[in-house]
Amino acid sequence: MDFAALHARLAARFGDKLVAVSAEALNPWIVVAPEAIVEVAAAAKDDAAFAFDNLMNLSAVDYPKENPPRIEIVYHLFSYQLRHTLVLKVHVPREQPVVPTVEGVWPAANWHEREVFDLFGVTFTGHSDLRRILLPDDWQGHPLRKDWVDPDFYNGLHVKPPTQMAERVAAGEPLGVGPFDQTPTNRHVE
C-alpha cells in the first residue's frame, strides 16, 4: 500500500485527529493529535491493511524557534508482512511536553520513550517505568534540547575541558588523550 492509500484509510477513520500530512517528504509523514496517538498506533498495528507490527524507532526533535516552540515525537513504523513503512509525528509544547505512551501497542517503545524522556524531557503518561536510561538519576536537564549548555562540573568533577586545553586542541596540538596518540607505529606494516 502506498502512502496516499495509507493516509486515505487513516483519514477516513480518524478525521481531524490527523492534523497535518506531508506526502512529498523523503519519508512521508502524518502528524497525529497527542491525545489520539495510542488509538492511531493501535489501528496501525491491528488493522490488517496496515499491519505495522514493528516500531523501528521512536525519537524526538526540538524546535525551540518555532512559534510556538515545540518538541516533535517521531514514530517510524514498518510492516514485515506487507513490507511498507509509515512515519507518524506528534507535536507537544516545549514547556510541558506530555504524550501518552505507546508501550501497550509496541513493547519496544519502553526503552525508546525512556531515552526521549532522558534526553528531551518528554513525559510519556502511562509508561510502566519512566526514568532516566542513559544519564545518572541526579542529572539536571536534557542534553538533546537545542538550548542545552554543558555544565562545567558534575558531582565536583570537571565535565568540560578547561579553556587552556580547548585552545591547545583547537590549535591542532595532539594532547595524547586518545589511543592513537600513544600507540607506537606497526613496524611490520609498510
Domain boundaries, the chain: 3-140
- Containing 118, the helix (H) or strand (E) segment is helix 109-120
Question: Does CATH place domain 3-140 in 3.40.190.10?
Answer: no
- The model's pLDDT over 131-150, given as tens digits with 9 standing for 90+, comes to 999 999 999 999 999 998 88
Q: In which band, very low, low, confident or very high, does the pLDDT at 168 lie, cut at 50, 70 and 90? A: confident
103 or 183, higher pLDDT = 103
| Residue 189 binned pLDDT confidence (cut-offs 50, 70, 90) | very low
Task: For residues 170-178, give the mean pLDDT.
Answer: 70
> pTM for the whole thing?
0.84
Counting residues of the chain whose pLDDT is more than 70, the rounded percentage is 91
> In 3-state terms, what secondary structure has residue 177?
coil
Mention every residue, 6+ apart, whose C-beta is less than 8 A from residue 87.
27, 28, 29, 30, 74, 75, 76, 77
Cβ-proximal residues to 33 (8 Å cutoff; 6+ apart), any chain: 16, 17, 18, 19, 90
Average pLDDT over residues 109-120: 98
pLDDT reading at 85 higher than 50 = yes
Which pLDDT band holds residue 183 (cuts at 50, 70, 90)?
very low
Give the type of residue at 21.
V
Q: What is the pLDDT of residue 184?
A: 47
Sign of CA dihedral 42, 44, 46, 47: positive
Lowest mean pLDDT among 6-10, 82-86, 160-164: 160-164
Task: List pLDDT tens digits, range 49-69.
Answer: 999 999 999 999 999 999 999
